[in-house]
Amino acid sequence: MIVSKFGGTSVGSAENMKKVVDIITQNKEPRIVVLSAMSGTTNTLVAIAQNLREYHPQEAEFLTQQLYKKYIGVIGELYEEDEFFEKGRILIDYFFTHIRSFFEVPYSQSVEKILLAQGELISTNLFQLYLEQIGVKSKLLPALTFMRIDEKGEPDKSFIAQKLSKLLYQNKETKLFITQGFICKNYSKEIDNLERGGSDYSASLIGAAIDAEQIQIYTDIDGMHNNDPRYVDRTFSLEKISFDEAAELAYFGAKILHPQSILPAKEKNIPVLVKNTFNPEAKGTLICNCDYNDHHIKAIAAKDGITAVKIKSYRMLMAYGFLKKIFDVFDKNRTPIDMISTSEVAVSITIDQTKRLDDILTELRSYGSVEVDTDLSIICIAGNIAQNKKGITGAIFSTLENIPIRMISYGGSNYNLSFLVKTTDKVAVLNLLNKGLFKQLYPKTPTLLKQE
C-alpha cells in the first residue's frame, strides 16, 4: 500500500484536483490518498473563528459567504453532470449550515477546532464525489474514526494502527481510499487537529500504522530544496536525503514538511518521496535510511519566532544540579527547548512557544538574573556535519563575517549545525550561506581576454 498526501495547493482548484486524479489513477497500486483543505480554506476558517471569539458576527458571516461562493464556483467546474453538481451543492450546503450553526453558540476552543476541521472534510467529500462521477471506485476513510491524540497531544500510535487495520480489513476489496489530513480526535473524543500543516504528519502516521511501502508527499515544488526558495533565488531540488537530515530541516523551518512528519516514517523505515503535483515527471526528493558516507552539506532552513532566555548566576560556578533546576522550569511549563548553550556562569536557552513565558521568567529569576531577546531566527544547516572534512565550520562562519551571531549549537547531532540570528538578518544569512556553501550555483563569469 502507498500513502499519497496532496497539500492545499494540489487540491486548490477544480483543475488541480483533476491533476491529482491523473496521478493517483496512473497505476492500480492500492493507495490511501490523504488530502489537505483547499488552499486558503483553513486560513479563512481561522479568521472566522477569530471573529466569533472577538464578537464580530458580521465579519464572520461575510467571510463565510465568501468561502461559500468559492465552493459553489469549484463544484461548477468539477461536476459536468447535473446530477453530480446537485450532489455537490447539497454537500456544500450541508457543511456551511454546520459552520453557521456555531455562530449561535458561545465560542470555545472546541468550537474553533470543529470549525478548522471543515476544510479537510469538504475537500475529501468533493474529491470523492468527483471520482464517482468519472467512474473511479474509491472509499472515504473518515480520519476522525482512526486518528487520535493522547492527553499530551501525541498521536496514539497503537490506536491508529488498530483502527486502520480493522477498517482496511473490512474493505479488503477496495484499492483506493481517500482520507483527511490534519484532523483527529483528542483523548476527550472531541474534534482536534495535528496543528497547522499537519497533513504531512497524518500521512506519515498512516504510512507507519499500515507499514506502507512508501509515503508520498505531493506539493507545489520539485522536492525538498537545498535552501528556502521563498527567500533565495538559486536553489535546487535534492535527489536524496536521510531521515535525520530531513527531520532537522523540517523541525528548523523547511515549510515543505511538518516539523514532526519524519519521525513515524523513520521509526518504520518507510521511504518518503516528496513530489510535485504540477510536474509529476520530476524525480523529487527521496528521504530514506541512506548511508551517511557522502561528505556534503545538504541544505539550509530557518525557523522564525524564536525567543532567547539567558540566566546568569554565580551560584552556577562549580555547582551541580543547576541546569536540572532550569530545565525543570521549562518542563513544568510544558515549553520545549530548541537550542541551549552554556558557560560556567550562564545558560542561554531558545524557545518558540511563549504562552507561558511570564511564569517561566518569574521562576527563573529566583536562580539568577534573566535577560530575554525576541524576534530571533534559528538557522539550521543540515548534512553530514560531524564527519565532514576539516574547515567546515570555518567555511560556514567566514561567509557571515558581518552578521552578528547570538548563539551557536554544534555537536549535538551529527546532522545539524544551528545558530541564532536576528530575524531581520535571516534573508541575508540564507543568501550568504547559499553563495558560500553551494558555490556551483554561482559560476564565475569568464574574465574578458585582455586586449593587446
Ligand X SMILES: Nc1ncnc2c1ncn2[C@@H]1O[C@H](COP(=O)(O)OP(=O)(O)O)[C@@H](O)[C@H]1O
Ligand Y SMILES: N[C@@H](CC(=O)OP(=O)(O)O)C(=O)O
Cell of 97: 449550515
| Whole-number Å distance between alpha carbons of 335 and 241 | 30
CA 432 to chain centre: 25
CA 309 to chain centre: 26
Q: Does 88 bind ligand Y (CB under 6 A)?
A: no
Q: Per CB under 6 A, which of residues 148..207 are in contact with ligand Y?
A: 181-182, 196-199
| Whole-number Å distance between alpha carbons of 332 and 190 | 25
Q: How far is the CB of 199 from ligand Y (least distance, A)?
A: 3
Q: Per CB under 6 A, which of residues 31..70 are in contact with ligand Y?
A: 36-37, 42
| Whole-number Å distance between alpha carbons of 296 and 252 | 19
Q: How far is the CB of 264 from ligand X (least distance, A)?
A: 17
Q: Each residue of 401-418: b (16+ CB within 10 Å) or e? A: eebeebbebbeebebbbb
256 or 311, CB closer to ligand X?
256
Q: Per CB under 6 A, which of residues 284..313 are in contact with ligand X?
A: 299, 301
Among 92, 254, 287, 316, binds ligand X (CB under 6 A): 254
| Whole-number Å distance between alpha carbons of 158 and 47 | 34
Q: Per CB under 6 A, which of residues 289..308 are in contact with ligand Y?
A: none
Amino acid identity for residue 34 in this structure: V
42 binds, among ligand Y, ligand X, none (CB under 5 to 8 A by kind): ligand Y
3-state secondary structure of 280: coil
10 binds, among ligand Y, ligand X, none (CB under 5 to 8 A by kind): ligand X
Among 59, 61, 220, 352, binds ligand X (CB under 6 A): 220
196 binds, among ligand X, ligand Y, none (CB under 5 to 8 A by kind): ligand Y
* Side-chain-facing half-sphere of 138: CA atoms under 13 Å: 29
Q: Does 8 bind ligand Y (CB under 6 A)?
A: yes
| Whole-number Å distance between alpha carbons of 210 and 325 | 41
36 or 276, CB closer to ligand Y?
36
In 55-204, where do the E strands start and end? Answer: 139-141, 176-180, 183-185, 191-193
**In the complex, which residues of this chain contact ligand X (CB under 6 A)?**
7-10, 36, 197, 219-221, 224-225, 228-230, 254-256, 299, 301
**In the complex, which residues of this chain contact ligand Y (CB under 6 A)?**
7-8, 36-37, 42, 119, 181-182, 196-199
